Chain A
Amino acid sequence: AQTVTQSQPEMSVQEAETVTLSCTYDTSESNYYLFWYKQPPSRQMILVIRQEAYKQQNATENRFSVNFQKAAKSFSLKISDSQLGDTAMYFCAFMNPQGGSEKLVFGKGTKLTVNP
């Protein structure tokens, strides 16, 4: 079974600085998808960024970028120029559609606080 591990329960960063959230996963599959979702307090889960395992190039979305290390099974999220609105729970998630399953497997999350 696939597992996703987020080793940082909480992190904080000063506004305008850069922060990196860690995620590792365990799978024997070669093709899969990885995601970072953001869940602000009392608000819905929002997709931040998605990476397809067969693509070597790291995904980027504006201030958000990932460092995807397939061999190490590592998928970290870098947030540049942090903003107060980035304060949220961040979840790393894995999906293996090749196995016929569409389910997302989530880590336990990292609570990020951006301080003014």
Chain B
Amino acid sequence: DTGVSQDPRHKITKRGQNVTFRCDPISEHNRLYWYRQTLGQGPEFLTYFQNEAQLEKSRLLSDRFSAERPKGSFSTLEIQRTEQGDSAMYLCASSFGTGRVSQPQHFGDGTRLSIL
């Protein structure tokens, strides 16, 4: 068990550029979550996958944001036309669950995005 892995750890980009983050969950986990955490706040839910299906999206996930989990393993989160307000820590978490029984979520180290 190597834990949840996120890449890159830090990303600095200019406003208007596109960025993509990757998350590799714990290998046996079928559920994967993305959260956003801004300074001084708790994480806010963005989206959730069970296997390859995206089952829930937050209203925070504007049309500039897209997430995929094509083979039910790793996931990517893309932000198009980045804005200053997108600066945050993007956290990925995974868990194993069947039906409505879910084990606790395990978090990665996060990707810190800074928009210049």
Q: Are B104 and A103 in contact (CB under 8 A)?
A: no
Chain A residues whose C-beta falls within 8 Å of the C-beta of B4 in the assembled complex: 44
Q: Are A103 and B56 in contact (CB under 8 A)?
A: yes
Most chain B CB within 10 A, of A44, A45, A97, is at A45
From the candidates B43, B56, B58, B107, name the one contacting A102 in the complex (CB within 8 A). Answer: B56
Kindly state whether residue B109 has any CB partner on chain A within 8 Å.
Answer: yes
Kindly state whether residue B31 has any CB partner on chain A within 8 Å.
Answer: yes
From the candidates B3, B33, B42, name the one contacting A106 in the complex (CB within 8 A). Answer: B42
How many A residues, CB 8 Å from partner?
24
Q: What are 9 A-to-B residue pairs whose CB atoms are below 8 Å?
A: A47-B105, A91-B42, A97-B100, A100-B100, A102-B50, A102-B97, A102-B102, A104-B43, A109-B42
Kindly state whether residue A78 has any CB partner on chain B within 8 Å.
Answer: no
Kindly state whether residue B25 has any CB partner on chain A within 8 Å.
Answer: no
Chain A residue with the shortest CB-CB distance to B45: A103
Q: Are A101 and B43 in contact (CB under 8 A)?
A: no
Chain B residue with the shortest CB-CB distance to A91: B42
Q: Are A47 and B42 in contact (CB under 8 A)?
A: no
Q: Are B40 and A104 in contact (CB under 8 A)?
A: no
Q: How far is the CB of A95 from chain B (nearest CB, A)?
A: 8
Cα A108 to Cα B39 with chains together (Å): 10
Cα A103 to Cα B48 with chains together (Å): 7
Cα A4 to Cα B42 with chains together (Å): 10
Cα A64 to Cα B44 with chains together (Å): 25
Extra 10 A-B pairs, beta carbons < 8 Å, given A44-B107, A45-B93, A103-B48: A4-B42, A46-B107, A47-B104, A97-B100, A97-B102, A101-B48, A102-B50, A102-B95, A105-B45, A106-B44
Chain A residue with the shortest CB-CB distance to B110: A44
Kindly state whether residue B106 has any CB partner on chain A within 8 Å.
Answer: yes
Q: Are B33 and A102 in contact (CB under 8 A)?
A: yes
From the candidates A47, A98, A103, name the one contacting B33 in the complex (CB within 8 A). Answer: A103
Chain B residues whose C-beta falls within 8 Å of the C-beta of A37 in the assembled complex: 107
Q: How far is the CB of A54 from chain B (nearest CB, A)?
A: 13
Q: How far is the CB of A98 from chain B (nearest CB, A)?
A: 7
Chain B residues whose C-beta falls within 8 Å of the C-beta of A47 in the assembled complex: 104-106
